């Protein structure tokens, strides 16, 4: 089964917004075995929409449209659909009642424009939109299908998830299975080299999806036999996991910050941080996890050397002789923050984020990270990039990766 | 002049990547008066590319294509172009020499596939790509133009900036001017209400571009007379600025965090922060600015109440009677961090980011923010949203906005 996507709206064509809807739709369609043959974005004009419908009807079995369903007069999608499917517009009392209820709750007055939204092509089956006013519309013509949805992302996602994807999954004969292996602290090419020998034996598609300090490996397979497809993916996951086990922190939607948080909770340990070059980003990653107050106590961001000595107790001798970006400094930062915040574990980072502050001996991108408790401190030097923001993010991810490895050994 | 965009590549159709190229292209084309009539994404097949070319040639004066120029065999864009323009492929010695030099520098061995990249349609004018191996190609047919570029964003941007946009600007008779007013601490609808009376007198297009805690107002105008267009935009900027002056922190590419940093530098003041609910995000915003170590000293992230009292000296009585999310707590946090880090100014925040921790009296999204020096502390209560990450970001932006207003008065 093949799908064609049409997004309608001038705001896409002038570059005011990035169209994230279509990649969301494409990846969710892929999961139920529906391939996207083309994506088209056109403005709010009847001619362009109709021309798009012609092209997509020829190429695909199902057309998914978003946008152009709002109450303002420049939204002409509905008119284009009524013309295209030679269907008169009828007033939908159900839709009117639903919109009225929403507006009463929000204390908004219904206008004529809102009433206009309730006229829908008679041939359309209404698909409920619990997230907004404009409903989805499902129309069949010559054995092919079309679904029109609002362009607001969370409304589109609701209609797709509850109205469209289940319908299409029931029609599709293809089975798609995927599993994503999530790694941290190792690069894409290093992983590729390690797993290359086993890949030839695995009958799956593999995609490397790298982000800063992390790589996701997506293994997928399409076929007609669900049991077979699943066992092929499972076997590949098992083979690859065996080889790169120390670098894997989770699967699918797991995140590194959730994973280390879970490890701390399970081991009943508390955490503090002492940050210099990351300037709060490490703490932000940790505290972006709901429930992080269960293990995370706080941080000292020692952006100046004065704070490193006065608040964290890094010795003046260390700062003078080794410098703020040194192994001894990050080790003393761990000791200092453990004493101050009284947690079981602490992480510290100090580095040169850039663009200024680099030297021949310690160029921009040089970072020291330490992780430790009262008995043992592990420290490591890194050389990241020349870019300030990327260095900050690399440092935070590698610090969490070092914490992960430290906790495994505890 | 009208443009049609075609992006080629299976990775877009399976939703593996979000197509940010086309919105970048669209917004840069708009600036030189070229409107985009449609955007099409197709897979790496001859038929689909050719059909796309047919459609776009009919609708537009210039087709801009990205993707499908890599050395691997599934990239067929070049073949499609040669067929479409009935042009044989010829070997480009210039391109070969350039690629050879790049590869020698990187220590990579040239393969037959790379040599293949140097065969280009004879009718194409080569546009240099200093960011990668595949050059841009510019072809004319029947008074209309086509330019094909690699899909790698920084390569496309280079070719567009130096090769394509100047050519199109020279052809275009339209002049486009824009100015963006940047505001913080006020919502989109409040701004709209304030400036509505003056908008009728202004002959410009206005776009409200809201982000968390900030609104950008883009005023633009297209016309044939550069002086006239510029004076119309300038006049609108002046009229609107007069009305919403207290909410404006800058223009065009200015950021709030840079702006407050600049104010601190000019007034020769140092800053510290004490964060609870933002968990480091406020410090991260401040330190994302290069050179922020010139005024920012550090922060205490007091995620637990123990740290609020032991490190920041918030009194146990305040925490017991008023709670951690209270006016008195954030005021004592300012005093505590000023004493500890010894800066001129401090900001503190304490709130309930969610999803847990809310009550009837203090629901999720309740946040107290204080800004002060040794003489004066300003504090304010906010109620943001139910979403943890959005609350964190709102709090940080409003904290910087309060700092901005505090510094104006100093």
pLDDT 10s digits, A356-365: 999 999 999 9
Interface test with A, best of B17, B33, B280, B342 (most A CBs within 10 A): B280
In this predicted model, what pLDDT tens digit does every residue of B380-408 receive, in sequence order? 999 998 899 999 999 999 999 999 999 99
pLDDT of residue B74: 60
Residues of B in contact with A30 (CB under 8 A): 14-15
Class of CATH domain A256-408: alpha beta
pLDDT of residue B294: 96
pLDDT of residue B102: 78
For domain B175-251, the CATH architecture is 2-Layer Sandwich (3.30)
User: Who wins on pLDDT, A311 or A386?
Assistant: A311
Which segment of A147-151, A324-328, B109-113, B371-375 scores lowest on mean pLDDT?
Answer: B109-113
The answer for residues whose C-beta is within 8 angstroms of residue B195's C-beta and 6 or more apart is: B240, B243, B244
From the centroid of its chain, how far is CA A319? 40
Distance in Å, alpha carbon of A87 to nearest chain B alpha carbon: 26
Which segment of A16-20, B68-72, B226-230 scores lowest on mean pLDDT?
Answer: B68-72
As a whole number, the mean pLDDT across chain B is 92
Chain A neighbours among B 135-164 (CB < 8 Å)? none
- Picking from A15, A281, A306, the nearest residue to B24 by CB comes out as A15
Rounded CA-CA distance B127/B149 in Å is 9
Q: Identify which of A399, A292, A276, A294 has the alpha carbon closest to the alpha carbon of residue B278.
A: A292
User: Who wins on pLDDT, A35 or B400?
Assistant: B400
Q: What's the rounded mean pLDDT across residues B208-220? A: 89
Name the closest residue on chain B to residue A270, using Cα atoms: B304
- Picking from B23, B275, B297, the nearest residue to A307 by CB comes out as B297
What share of chain A has pLDDT > 90, as a percent? 67
Rounded CA-CA distance A279/B285 in Å is 9
Distance in Å, alpha carbon of B91 to nearest chain A alpha carbon: 32
Name the closest residue on chain A to residue B280, using Cα atoms: A280
In this predicted model, what pLDDT tens digit does every residue of B107-141 receive, in sequence order? 777 777 778 878 889 999 999 888 888 889 999 98
pLDDT of residue B132: 80
Q: Confirm or reject contact between A297 and chain B (CB < 8 A).
A: yes
Name the closest residue on chain A to residue B207, using Cα atoms: A16
- Residue pair A72/A113 in contact by the 8 Å Cβ criterion: yes
pLDDT of residue A74: 60
- Picking from A20, A51, A298, the nearest residue to B304 by CB comes out as A298
Cβ–Cβ below 8 Å for A297 and B303: yes
pLDDT of residue A29: 92
Q: What residue ranges do the domains of chain B occupy?
A: 2-171, 175-251, 256-408
Rounded CA-CA distance A5/A60 in Å is 9
How many other C-beta atoms can be found within 10 angstroms of the C-beta atom of residue A218? 17
Q: How far is CA B23 from CA A91, A291, B30, B48, in A?
A: 37, 37, 10, 22
Name the closest residue on chain B to residue A282, using Cα atoms: B280
pLDDT of residue B72: 62
Distance in Å, alpha carbon of A308 to nearest chain B alpha carbon: 9
Cβ–Cβ below 8 Å for A35 and B42: no
Q: Confirm or reject contact between B19 and chain A (CB < 8 A).
A: yes
Residues of A in contact with B207 (CB under 8 A): 16
Residues of B in contact with A279 (CB under 8 A): 283-284, 286-288, 292, 296
Q: Confirm or reject contact between A113 and chain B (CB < 8 A).
A: no
Cβ–Cβ below 8 Å for A279 and B282: no
Residues of B in contact with A27 (CB under 8 A): 14-16
pLDDT of residue B196: 86
Name the closest residue on chain B to residue A304, using Cα atoms: B297
Q: Confirm or reject contact between A287 and chain B (CB < 8 A).
A: yes
Distance in Å, alpha carbon of A143 to nearest chain B alpha carbon: 23
Among A30-44, A313-327, B26-40, B121-135, top mean pLDDT goes to: A313-327
User: Who wins on pLDDT, A114 or A30?
Assistant: A30
Has this prediction a pTM greater than 0.90?
A: no
pLDDT at A238 over 80: yes
Question: What confidence tier does B172 reach under pLDDT thresholds 50, 70, 90?
Answer: confident
pLDDT of residue A229: 93
Cβ–Cβ below 8 Å for B28 and A15: yes
List phi, psi (to 5°) of A330. -70, -30
The answer for residues whose C-beta is within 8 angstroms of residue B135's C-beta and 6 or more apart is: B92, B95, B120, B126, B127, B128, B129
DSSP character at residue B195: H
Cβ–Cβ below 8 Å for A14 and B35: yes
pLDDT at A10 over 90: no
In this predicted model, what pLDDT tens digit does every residue of A84-103 receive, in sequence order? 999 998 998 988 888 888 77
pLDDT at B238 over 90: yes
Q: How many beta-carbon pairs below 8 A join chains A and B? A: 228
- Report the residue count for chain A: 410
Q: What CATH code would you report for A2-171?
A: 3.40.980.10
Cβ–Cβ below 8 Å for A298 and B300: yes
As a whole number, the mean pLDDT across chain A is 92
pLDDT at B283 over 80: yes
Name the closest residue on chain B to residue A357, using Cα atoms: B291
Residues of B in contact with A297 (CB under 8 A): 303-304, 306-307
pLDDT of residue A73: 53
In terms of C-beta density within 10 A (0-12 exposed, 13-18 middle, 19 or more buried), how is residue B368 classed? buried
Cβ–Cβ below 8 Å for B27 and A14: yes
Distance in Å, alpha carbon of B92 to nearest chain A alpha carbon: 31
pLDDT of residue B51: 92
Rounded CA-CA distance B43/B197 in Å is 49
Rounded CA-CA distance A364/A358 in Å is 5
Cβ–Cβ below 8 Å for A13 and B39: yes
Question: What confidence tier does B166 reach under pLDDT thresholds 50, 70, 90?
Answer: very high
Question: What confidence tier does B29 reach under pLDDT thresholds 50, 70, 90?
Answer: very high
Q: What's the rounded mean pLDDT across residues A196-203? A: 88
Question: What confidence tier does B33 reach under pLDDT thresholds 50, 70, 90?
Answer: confident
Cβ–Cβ below 8 Å for A280 and B292: no
Name the closest residue on chain A to residue B208, using Cα atoms: A16
Q: What is the DSSP track for A34-96? A: PEEEEEEEE-S-HHHHHHHHHHHHHH-SEEEEES--SSSTT--HHHHHHHHTT--EEE-HHHH
User: Who wins on pLDDT, A99 or A6?
Assistant: A6
Question: What confidence tier does A15 reach under pLDDT thresholds 50, 70, 90?
Answer: confident
Residues of B in contact with A50 (CB under 8 A): none
Q: Confirm or reject contact between B300 and chain A (CB < 8 A).
A: yes
Cβ–Cβ below 8 Å for A303 and B296: yes
The answer for residues whose C-beta is within 8 angstroms of residue A308's C-beta and 6 or more apart is: A276, A302, A314, A319, A324, A329, A333, A350
Rounded CA-CA distance B125/B140 in Å is 9
Residues of B in contact with A59 (CB under 8 A): 48
- Picking from B12, B15, B48, the nearest residue to A24 by CB comes out as B15
Q: Confirm or reject contact between A20 and chain B (CB < 8 A).
A: yes
How many other C-beta atoms can be found within 10 angstroms of the C-beta atom of residue A118? 21
Name the closest residue on chain B to residue A396, using Cα atoms: B284
pLDDT at A262 over 80: yes
pLDDT at A72 over 70: no
Residues of A in contact with B301 (CB under 8 A): 273, 280, 283, 287, 298-301
Distance in Å, alpha carbon of B241 to nearest chain A alpha carbon: 22
Residues of A in contact with B44 (CB under 8 A): none
Question: What confidence tier does B305 reach under pLDDT thresholds 50, 70, 90?
Answer: very high
At A10, list the tokens.
């001038």
Distance in Å, alpha carbon of A48 to nearest chain B alpha carbon: 8
**Same fold? B2-171, B256-408:** no
In this predicted model, what pLDDT tens digit does every residue of B77-96 receive, in sequence order? 888 999 999 999 899 898 88
Distance in Å, alpha carbon of B185 to nearest chain A alpha carbon: 22
pLDDT of residue B101: 84
The answer for residues whose C-beta is within 8 angstroms of residue B285's C-beta and 6 or more apart is: B257, B396, B397, B400
At A179, list the tokens.
């599993």
At B130, list the tokens.
């200093």
- Picking from A19, A30, A38, the nearest residue to B42 by CB comes out as A38
């Amino acid at each position: 089964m093949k799908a064609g996507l049409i997004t309608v709206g001038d705001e896409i064509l002038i570059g005011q917004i990035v169209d994230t809807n279509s990649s969301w739709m494409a990846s969710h369609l892929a999961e139920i075995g529906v391939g996207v043959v083309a994506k088209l974005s056109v403005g709010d004009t009847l001619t362009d929409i109709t021309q798009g419908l012609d092209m997509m009807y020829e190429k695909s079995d199902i057309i998914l449209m978003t946008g152009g369903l709002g109450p303002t007069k420049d939204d002409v999608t509905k008119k284009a659909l009524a013309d295209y499917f030679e269907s008169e517009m009828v007033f939908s009392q159900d839709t009117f009642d639903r919109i009225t209820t929403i507006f009463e709750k929000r204390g908004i007055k219904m206008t004529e424009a809102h009433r206009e939204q309730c006229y829908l092509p008679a041939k359309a089956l209404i698909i409920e939109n619990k997230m907004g006013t404009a409903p989805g519309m499902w129309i069949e013509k010559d054995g092919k299908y079309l679904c029109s949805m609002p362009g607001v992302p969370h409304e589109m996602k609701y209609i797709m998830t509850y109205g469209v994807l289940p319908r299409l999954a029931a029609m599709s004969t293809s089975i798609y299975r995927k599993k994503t292996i999530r790694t941290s602290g190792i690069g894409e090419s290093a992983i590729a080299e390690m797993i290359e020998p086993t890949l030839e034996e695995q009958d799956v598609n593999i995609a490397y999806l790298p982000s800063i300090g992390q790589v996701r490996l997506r293994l997928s397979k399409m076929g007609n036999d669900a049991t077979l497809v699943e066992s092929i993916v499972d076997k590949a996951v098992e083979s690859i996991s065996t080889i790169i086990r120390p670098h894997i922190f989770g699967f699918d939607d797991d995140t590194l910050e959730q994973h280390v948080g879970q490890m701390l909770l399970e081991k009943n340990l508390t955490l503090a941080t002492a940050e210099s070059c990351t300037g709060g980003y490490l703490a932000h990653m940790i505290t972006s996890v709901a429930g992080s107050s269960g293990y995370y106590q706080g941080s000292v961001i020692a952006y100046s050397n004065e704070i490193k000595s006065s608040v964290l107790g890094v010795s003046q001798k260390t700062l003078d002789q080794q410098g703020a970006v040194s192994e001894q400094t990050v080790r003393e930062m761990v000791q200092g923050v453990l004493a101050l915040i009284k947690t079981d574990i602490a992480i510290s980072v100090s580095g040169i984020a850039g663009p200024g502050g680099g030297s021949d001996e310690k160029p921009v991108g040089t970072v020291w990270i330490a992780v430790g408790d009262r008995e043992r401190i592990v420290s490591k030097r890194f050389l990241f990039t020349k870019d300030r923001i990327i260095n900050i993010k690399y440092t935070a991810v590698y610090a969490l990766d070092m914490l992960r490895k430290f906790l495994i050994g505890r």
